């Protein structure tokens, strides 16, 4: 694939763009030869670009992007070089508003495009958030590894009666509160707890039982969570905190672990939860090997 091919690809999709987030080019999926290290996102009038390894033709890439925005809705380009220490970001063209947010299905999520790693928003989880919104009515929701609490915003918008957000990062939870205020949501029944999930289970249990549980951990976070050994510790405790007909959304974004990793853990350690289905991934995030892509698995508790 060439830069001219990428420009054609971008232009082919530009008429569909609105103020809502859209991934325009997903090289990470491995479908575009030679550009597995490149992603390009549309965020209203901003073109957000990430490089995951050094690009020999970086200057040519930037010129191509400048050519693209001459005829698109964009007036700003932000480039993040994630292959460098600290993942520095640079504004190539234009400027960023002070209070930047991304829009997804009408929901607003605070965004930091100049952060040293993550922006505060994970766009590939869009269908997971839609599932939560559609299945939260009058439910008590437990949001584990909540980060900036986008699942909580979805749950409250879907009519949840109570949401408990659990994450070790106080900073992420503070952003989570802002995300609720950004959407003018009623905060009654929404709580934020800076707990180490594996060490604070008794406190989490006190607020149960929960009707919808979301487990969306990092694949690996030093000193906090390692999917290959710690996911089973969470699954083992599920029956103690779940209501009789609890729904479970179990997420995993490790290319080294497949669907059966979670399904087998559930079958062994929490057999009252029956597998329902795997949510489809967002089409713009298509991968050459879907078994290694994001896995959002739905389970429902039933009487044995």
219 pLDDT more than 70 = no
CATH number of 3-96: 3.30.750.80
Tens digits of residue pLDDT in 23-75: 999 999 999 999 999 999 999 999 999 999 999 999 999 999 999 999 999 99
Domain ranges of the chain: 3-96, 123-301
Confidence check: pLDDT of 221 > 70: no
Tell me phi and psi for residue 119, to 5 degrees: -85, -10
Statement: residue 217 has pLDDT above 90: no
Q: Give the model's pLDDT for residue 222.
A: 61
Percent of the chain with pLDDT over 70: 98
C-alpha closest to that of 67 among 8, 2, 1: 8
Q: What is the pTM of this model?
A: 0.93
CATH class of 123-301: alpha beta
Q: How far is Cα 277 from Cα 271, in angstroms, rounded to an integer?
A: 16
What pLDDT shows up at residue 181?
97
Tens digits of residue pLDDT in 238-253: 999 999 999 999 999 8
Report pLDDT for 223.
58
What mean pLDDT do residues 209-228 have? 80
Q: Is pLDDT above 90 for 292?
A: no
Q: Which residues contact 140 (CB under 8 A, 6 or more apart)?
A: 160, 161, 162, 163, 164, 207, 208, 209, 210, 211, 212, 243
């Amino acid at each position: 694939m060439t830069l001219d091919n990428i420009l054609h690809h971008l232009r082919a999709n530009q008429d569909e763009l609105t103020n809502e987030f859209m991934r325009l080019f997903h090289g990470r999926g491995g479908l575009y030869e030679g550009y597995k290290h490149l992603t390009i996102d549309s965020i209203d009038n901003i073109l957000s670009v990430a490089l995951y390894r050094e690009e020999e033709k970086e200057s040519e890439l930037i010129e191509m992007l400048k050519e693209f925005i001459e005829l698109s809705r964009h007036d700003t380009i932000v480039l993040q070089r994630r292959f460098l220490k600290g993942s520095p970001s640079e504004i190539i063209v234009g400027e960023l508003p002070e209070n930047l947010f991304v829009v997804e299905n009408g929901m607003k999520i605070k965004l930091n495009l100049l952060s040293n790693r993550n922006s505060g928003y994970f766009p590939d989880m869009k269908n997971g958030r839609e599932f939560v919104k559609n299945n939260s009515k009058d439910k008590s929701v437990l949001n584990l590894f909540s980060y900036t609490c986008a699942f909580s915003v979805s749950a409250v918008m879907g009519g949840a009666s109570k949401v408990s957000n659990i994450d070790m990062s106080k900073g992420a939870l503070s952003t989570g509160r802002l995300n609720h205020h950004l959407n003018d949501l009623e905060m009654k029944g929404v709580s934020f707890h800076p707990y180490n999930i594996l060490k604070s289970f008794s406190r989490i249990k006190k607020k149960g039982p929960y009707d919808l549980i979301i487990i969306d951990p990092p694949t690996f976070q030093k000193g906090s969570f390692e999917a290959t050994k710690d996911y089973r510790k969470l699954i083992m405790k599920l029956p103690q905190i779940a209501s009789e007909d609890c729904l479970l959304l179990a997420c995993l974004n490790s290319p080294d672990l497949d669907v059966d990793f979670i399904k087998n853990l559930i079958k062994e350690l929490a057999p009252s939860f029956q597998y329902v289905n795997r949510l489809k991934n967002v089409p713009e995030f298509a991968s050459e090997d879907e078994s290694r892509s994001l896995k959002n698995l739905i389970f429902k508790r039933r009487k044995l």
